[in-house]
């Protein structure tokens, strides 16, 4: 390990906090995002925290931009030790309301962005025997109502990570997947959904989170060090996942009730 890390979606939120957590140990960071102003701010904070690195604008939908980013890591750092596929967008809406464009947009960024990140950086990770950290969501495990396209994209990230875990073990590449619940972030900036009411409901969930992006980054750091594959930073998330594994029907019933409540609220808002 030569302490070289790549992070997508590093211009704000969890991506920035992960950068700062590793920067405190003097890591060199390759930071990418579509938000160039945010990237410059992250790099400044990284340097203040004791790390260093470079920024490169990168849209994870475009594989050529990710391969160019990997080349930049090879040129400037001589390789990479950890990749963090963190870039993501939020969306919501009942299945009947979501357009196929909504599906394409969500899958292209939240799932295929991770696939392309892993693919572009795999040759460098094979050289360094490095680590992959994919950021999924508790939505991948819980499948809450009115976010089917988000649930499917994030569940795909978990399935991809499980596949890579077993396939890359022989090459000594470690794989981790992180499933945070809602936390205070700027995810709503990218939110796409059919109704303003849905955005407001998601906003309330984000505000009520008991845990910050900084605490999540700390938890990820500790669990990666411990070699944990599935990382669930929220205690409530860990409890919900344990319940689902034991008695999934209880959770399905709970989610059905939640869907009914959301529909009732939406009707109230419309009247």
* Catalytic site positions: 150
- DSSP letter for each residue of the chain: ---EEEESSTTSHHHHHHHHHHHTTT-EEEEEES-HHHHHHHHHHHHHHT-EEEEEE--TT-HHHHHHHHHHHHHHHSS-SEEEE-----B-B-TTT--HHHHHHHIIIIIHHHHHHHHHHHHHHHHHT-EEEEE--THHHH--TTBHHHHHHHHHHHHHHHHHHHHSTTTT-EEEEE-----SSSGGGG-B-S-HHHHHHHHHHHHT-SS-HHHHHHHHHHHHHTT-SEE---HHHHHHHHHHHH-HHHHHHHHHHHHHHHHHHHHHHH-
């Amino acid at each position: 390990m030569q302490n070289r890390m790549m992070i997508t979606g590093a211009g704000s939120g969890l991506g920035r906090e992960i950068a700062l957590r590793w920067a405190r140990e003097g890591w060199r960071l390759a930071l990418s995002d579509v938000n160039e102003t945010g990237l410059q701010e992250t790099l400044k904070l990284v340097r203040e925290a004791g790390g260093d690195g470079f920024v490169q604008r990168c849209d994870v939908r475009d594989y050529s931009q990710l391969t160019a980013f990997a080349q930049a890591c090879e040129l400037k750092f001589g390789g990479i030790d950890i990749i963090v596929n963190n870039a993501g967008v939020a969306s919501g809406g009942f299945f009947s309301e979501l357009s196929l464009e909504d599906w394409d947009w969500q899958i292209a960024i939240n799932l295929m962005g991770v696939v392309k990140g892993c693919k572009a950086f795999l040759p460098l990770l094979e050289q360094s025997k490095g680590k992959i950290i994919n950021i999924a969501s508790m939505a991948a495990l819980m499948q809450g109502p009115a976010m089917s396209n988000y649930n499917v994209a994030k569940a795909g990230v978990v399935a991809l990570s499980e596949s890579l875990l077993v396939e890359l073990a022989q090459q000594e590449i470690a794989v981790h997947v992180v499933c945070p619940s809602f936390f205070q972030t700027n995810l709503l900036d990218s939110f796409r959904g059919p109704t303003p009411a849905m955005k407001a409901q998601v906003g309330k969930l984000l505000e009520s989170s008991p845990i910050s992006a900084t605490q999540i980054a700390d938890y990820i750091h500790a669990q990666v060090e411990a070699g944990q594959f599935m990382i669930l930073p929220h205690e409530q998330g860990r409890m919900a996942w344990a319940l689902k594994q034991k008695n999934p029907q209880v959770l399905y019933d709970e989610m059905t009730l939640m869907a009914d409540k959301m529909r009732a609220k939406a009707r109230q808002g419309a009247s």
